[in-house]
Structure 1
Amino acid sequence: MRLVVVLLAGLLCAGCSGRPVGVLTPVEASVPEATKVDMLVATTRAPSTDKAIRYTGERGKGISLSAFTISIPPDSRREVGQVQWPRSLPANPQTDFATLAVKPLDGEKAARSWLDGHLPPSRRVMIFVHGFNNRFEDAVYRFAQIVHDSGSEVAPVLFTWPSRARVFDYLFDRESTIFSRDAFEETVWQVASDPRVEDVTIMAHSMGAWLAMEGLRQMAIRRGKLPAKISNVILASPDVDVDVFATQWQALNTPKAHFTLFVSRDDRALRVSRRIAGGVDRLGLIDADQYYRELEKSGIVVIDLTAMRSGDALNHGRFASSPEVVRLIGERLVNGQTVTDSQISLGDRIGAAAMGVGQTVGGAAGLALSAPIAVIDPATRRTYQGQVEQFGRVVTENADDPAAE
C-alpha cells in the first residue's frame, strides 16, 4: 500500500516539475489571436495575502466570489487538451495561459451583475468542480482550458473547494468536500434560480464528483427535487464509493437531468483511492462490460475511456486532456444530448489506433450504455470480488514497474 502511494506521489510531482506557482497576477500584455475566457469563481477556500495566489488550500468562511479573465494562446501554438503553464513569470500570452484580470465580487448581487454581461444567447451555464490535489490556480486554468477546447457556449462558473494540493493530504481534502457541501448547494441553487438562466450543466472531476453528488442529494432532500434547469450532470473519473453513490442516487428521486459517467479501468489514482477506502470499488473504475445487463436498464450513461491514449501518467484526466472527449462534452453533452452508440461513434472520433485488439465501437472505447442503480448493488459485485482483490495484489506488487500496467 505504501509503495503504491509513494508511486502516485512521484507521478504527481513529476507532472508539476519546473512549473512556477503563483500565476494569477494579471499581466498587461495581450495577443490579438489569443482567446479570452471569462469565468465566475465561487470558493470556500481561505484568501491569501499573496495576489499571485489569491486563495490558499485552507478552509475559509462562507463563499467568496471573484471574476477572472484568462488568456489562452493562439490555437496554432498549443495542443488541444493541454494547459500551457508558463515556464517563467510573468506569463507570455503568445505561448502561455495568462491571467488578464481579477475582480473580487461582493455578494450575490455582484454575481448576478456578472451574469448580465456574460450569459450567452443559449442562456446556458456550466458549473465545474475540480478534484483532489488542486491548487486554486490549477482549477482556474484547467476550467478555462475545458471551456475553450470544448467550444461550449456557456457562462462558466467554477466552484473550488479547499485542497492543500499535497498527495498525502487526501483525508484533509476529503473532509474539505464535506465542509463545502452547503456552499456548493447554495451556489447551484442561486444559478438555477436565476430567471435569465435556462439550462445548467454540472461537471465534476474525481473527488469533486463526490462533493457534487452530496450537494445535489442535499438539494433534492431539502427542496423536494432538483431544479428542472439542471439538464446535465457529468461525473469524470468519479472518486465515489459505489455503495455511497447508491444512496446518493436514490435520494435524487429519479432526476430529470441526464447523468453521464466517464470511467477508465486503468485509472491509477482511483486504484490507490480504492486501496485507501478498504478495497471498495470507486465509481470511476467500474467495468461496464461486466455490468452490461445491469447497465442497460436506466438512464445513467457510462462512457468507458480505457482504450484511449492518455496525456497524463495517472490516466485520471482523460475527460479534459483528450481532444476527442473534450469536444464531445461541448458538442453533445452540454447541449443537452444523451450520448449513445446509435447517436455518436466514439470509435470513429478516436481512431482505430486508440482501440485495443478485438474492440469495436460497442466495446471499451465506444461503449455508451445506460447504468441503473443495480451496478452498485453489493450483491451484484460479489461475483467479481475475487477478481478485484487479485487485481489489487498484482497492482501493489508491480507498482514500481510501469510496464506492468
Structure 2
Amino acid sequence: MVQRLSRNRRAMGGISALFLLALTACGGRPEGVLTPISANMVSPSASDVAMLVATSRKPSGDPATLFTGERSPALSLTDLTISIPAKRAVGTVEWPKKLPPNPEKDFAVVAAKSLSIPEAHDWLHSHNPNGRVLVFVHGFNNRYEDSVFRFAQFVNDSKAKVTPILFTWPSRASVLGYNYDKESANFSRTAFERTLKALADDRSVTDITVMAHSMGTWLAMESLRQMALEDGQVSPKIRNVILASPDLDVDVFGRQWNELGPKKPKFTITVSRDDRALAISRLIAGNVDRVGQADPSKEPYKSKLQAAGITVLDLTVVKTADRLNHSKFAESPEIVQLLGAQLASGQILTDSRVGLGDGLGLVVAGTVDTIGNAAAKTVSAPVADVATGNNDSQPSELEAILKGDPTTE
C-alpha cells in the first residue's frame, strides 16, 4: 500500500511538472489559426506545403478550427495548403502571435477545402508525381492545427520528395487528458487502417512510408497489426515505418510486431533516454519500459538487436529547444533531413547515408559509434526485442512471444 501511494504521488508530481512545461510551451499561442488568409496577403518569398488531411475528429463547424478534440464515427477529408515563411530556423514552427497571421513571419493557411472520397482520390492523383506517399500520425496532446503545422514543418524542412498525408485522431490537447487520448487512439484504429488501405489500393501510389510520433505509434502499430490479421500481411506498398519516440509498452510492442506476420515493412525507431514525456508515461503505465527510452548500445538490448530488420537511432545526445526532449525527430535539423530525405523518399539507412556532420553524437542500432568524422554503422535489429528490460535468467513474456511459445497468451 505504501509503495502504491508513493508511486501515485510520483506519477501525479510528474504529471504536474509536465503540465507546467506544456503551459510554458503553449503560452501566448492564439487559437483558431486555420482560417485561410486572403490571396493578396500571401508572401512571394514563402514556400508552401499542400497536404491531404484525414481525421476521425468531430467537425467544429468553425473555419478557424475545422475540427475539435471529440470523436466522430465518420472519416473527414480536407485539402490544406500551409504557407511557411522563408526566414525561419529549420525545425521550428512559427506560430502567429496575433490574427490574422503575417505570412512574412508566421505559418499561415492559404487554402482549406473539405473533400469527398472521390475528390480525395483526384487530389492524390494531381499531387503525387512520383508515387511516394508519407503518412504522418501525431502524438498525445495535439490540437488539429498542432498536427497540421508540425507536419508541414517536417515536410518542408526535410525536402522529402513525397506526397504528404496527415492522419489526425481525436486529442483533447490537455496534459491531463492522457487516458482520453489513449482511448481515442484505440477508437481510431479502423479509420486509420482504412485510410492506409485506400492509399495502397490507389493506382497512383507505389510506395508508402508511415511515420508516427509518441502515442500515435500505438495507433500506427495497432492499425498495421489489424491489417495484417485481416489480409494476411501488411500491404507490400507500405515499405517503411518510422516510430519516433514511441510511447509503447515493450511487451505489447513485441506482441504487435509478432502479429504483423513474416513480411514486414522496414522499421526505424528513434529513442532518447532523456525523454521527459515518456518518463511520465512510464509512471502512468505502471513503471513498464517504453520503447522510446530503450538504450540500444547496452545489454540486454544490444545483443538482441542483431538478427532482423530494424534500425534504432539513439537521439539522447541530440539537443533541441524542446524542454521535454520528446520531439527531436522534427526539431533537430540533422534528424529532420536524415529521416525525411533518406527514409521518406523510399531509401533505407546505410552507413553511407548517415553522415550528419562533425560533432553530432548519434548511436545507431546497437553500436557505440558516434557520427562525426566517420559514419556510424547501421545494424539490423529485431524490433520485437528492442527493450525487454529483463536481466533475469527466465525469459520475459516478450521473449516468449518472439520465440512463438504457445504457452504464452
TM-score, normalised by the number of residues in structure 2: 0.88
For 1:54, which of 37, 47, 66 is the aligned residue? Answer: 66
C-alpha displacement of 1:255: 2.9
Whole-Å Cα distance in 1 between the matches of residues 289 and 60 of structure 2?
Answer: 37
Whole-Å Cα distance in 2 between the matches of residues 185 and 37 of structure 1?
Answer: 24
* Alignment root-mean-square deviation, CA: 2.0
Gaps of 5+ in 2: 1-9, 394-409
Residue pair 1:309, 1:354 contacting (<8 A) in 2 also? no
Q: State the percentage of identical aligned residues.
A: 51
Cα distance change of structure 1 residues 243 and 163 upon mapping to structure 2, 3 Å threshold = same
Residue pair 1:339, 1:368 contacting (<8 A) in 2 also? yes
Residue pair 1:294, 1:374 contacting (<8 A) in 2 also? no
For 2:379, which of 369, 375, 379 is the aligned residue? Answer: 369
Whole-Å Cα distance in 2 between the matches of residues 31 and 317 of structure 1?
Answer: 28
Whole-Å Cα distance in 1 between the matches of residues 376 and 244 of structure 2?
Answer: 16
CA deviation string 1:311-357 (max 9, x = no partner): 200000000000001101122111222214x22344x43x326579x
1:27 and 2:37 correspond: yes
Whole-Å Cα distance in 2 between the matches of residues 355 and 248 of structure 1?
Answer: 27
For 2:260, which of 252, 262, 276 is the aligned residue? Answer: 252
Q: Report what 2:220 is aligned to.
A: 212
Any idea what SS the aligned residue of 1:190 has?
Answer: helix
Cα distance change of structure 1 residues 335 and 34 upon mapping to structure 2, 3 Å threshold = same
Whole-Å Cα distance in 1 between the matches of residues 347 and 76 of structure 2?
Answer: 33
Residue pair 2:56, 2:168 contacting (<8 A) in 1 also? yes
Q: Report what 1:382 is aligned to.
A: 391
Residue pair 2:271, 2:315 contacting (<8 A) in 1 also? yes
1:191 and 2:199 correspond: yes
Whole-Å Cα distance in 2 between the matches of residues 376 and 183 of structure 1?
Answer: 28
Q: Report what 2:118 is aligned to.
A: 109
Q: Report what 1:137 is aligned to.
A: 145
TM-score, normalised by the number of residues in structure 1: 0.88
The residue type paired with residue 189 of structure 2 is R
Cα distance change of structure 1 residues 366 and 270 upon mapping to structure 2, 3 Å threshold = farther
Q: Report what 2:406 is aligned to.
A: none
C-alpha displacement of 1:225: 0.5
Q: Report what 1:225 is aligned to.
A: 233
1:71-90 matches, within 5 Å, as 71-74=83-86, 77-90=87-100
Q: Report what 2:334 is aligned to.
A: 324
CA deviation string 1:230-251 (max 9, x = no partner): 1110000000111111111011
Residue pair 2:294, 2:387 contacting (<8 A) in 1 also? no
Any idea what SS the aligned residue of 1:382 has?
Answer: coil
1:335 and 2:342 correspond: no
Q: Report what 2:52 is aligned to.
A: 40
Any idea what SS the aligned residue of 1:369 has?
Answer: coil
CA deviation string 1:8-65 (max 9, x = no partner): 1111110111111110000011011111110000000011022111100011121011
Whole-Å Cα distance in 2 between the matches of residues 367 and 98 of structure 1?
Answer: 40
Cα distance change of structure 1 residues 309 and 377 upon mapping to structure 2, 3 Å threshold = closer
Q: How many residues align?
A: 374
Whole-Å Cα distance in 2 between the matches of residues 110 and 367 of structure 1?
Answer: 45
Q: Report what 2:24 is aligned to.
A: 14
Whole-Å Cα distance in 1 between the matches of residues 377 and 333 of structure 2?
Answer: 18
